[in-house]
């Protein structure tokens, strides 16, 4: 696992997903049903939207981390192949 990939994935992506989920849950908790009406929907919806945005950014960071890891592994494999050919 490449260090940069781990940082992007674990230290940025996963926490953003967690915070986003928490903010969505706060929005859901505020958006209560009162006799068939949702009087606090206007307050709750921006929280839900912000939470969804943070989750999306977190997902993208995790994806970038995974792709960076994959690219590092492929580069390593190419370097090993070149060493094998050079030493043959």
How much is the pLDDT for 80?
A: 94
How much is the pLDDT for 1?
A: 64
pLDDT tens digit sequence for 30-59: 999 888 899 999 999 999 999 999 999 999
| Domain parsing of the chain, residue ranges | 3-86
**Exposed/middle/buried for 9, CB within 10 Å: 0-12, 13-18, 19+?**
buried
How much is the pLDDT for 35?
A: 83
How much is the pLDDT for 44?
A: 95
Classified as helix, coil or strand, 34 is: strand
50-79: average pLDDT? 96
Contact 65, 31 (CB under 8 A): no
Mean pLDDT for the chain overall: 94
């Amino acid at each position: 696992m490449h260090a940069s990939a781990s940082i992007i994935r674990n230290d940025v992506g996963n926490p953003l997903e967690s915070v986003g989920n928490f903010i969505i849950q706060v929005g859901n908790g505020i958006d209560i049903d009162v006799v068939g009406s949702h009087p606090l929907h206007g307050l709750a919806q921006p929280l839900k939207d912000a939470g969804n945005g943070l989750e999306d950014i977190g997902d993208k960071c995790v994806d970038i981390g995974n792709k960076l890891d994959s690219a590092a592994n492929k580069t390593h494999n190419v370097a090993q192949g070149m060493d094998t050919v050079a030493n043959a």
